[in-house]
Amino acid sequence: QVQLVESGGGLVQAGGSLRLSCAASGRTFSRYAMGWFRQAPGKEREFVAGMSLSAGNTYYVDSVKGRFTISRDNAKNTVYLQMNSLKPEDTAVYYCASATDMGWVPTRRNQYDYWGQGTQVTVSS
């Protein structure tokens, strides 16, 4: 069993920054891939960013490239999502998820088998 706990969400003005954290337990951290998804009201949950922890490679959806950065701290079993230059359209509940690490970054929701509870990010204009 894997437990994922997100934190760091909140309300920020457009152009501002937030850093989300996802603390993982119950699984060897370096053996799985981690992803961040988001879901806005009335919309499907979408992939935002991910990292293969064994290979170290990352992948981002086009809408956040250059603004968001995913990183990890192995000592803390924690993955972060640094979000800069936030826009109102980034408003959503953000979820972290873990998947079996195959050496690349999974981008589909059904490739992930454990999920956190989500953290709300609201960007005001």
Report the percent of the chain where pLDDT is more than 70: 97
Rounded Cα gap, residues 97 and 33, in angstroms: 8
Rounded Cα gap, residues 67 and 74, in angstroms: 23
Mean pLDDT of 79-92: 97
Neighbours of 41 (CB within 10 A): 7
Report the percent of the chain where pLDDT is more than 90: 80
How do residues 13-62 score in pLDDT, each as one tens digit? 999 999 999 999 876 766 789 999 999 999 999 999 999 877 789 999 99
Mean pLDDT of 84-99: 97
Rounded Cα gap, residues 81 and 4, in angstroms: 14
The candidate with the shortest Cα–Cα distance to 105, out of 65, 73, 66, 61, is 61
91: which 2 tokens? 């408003």
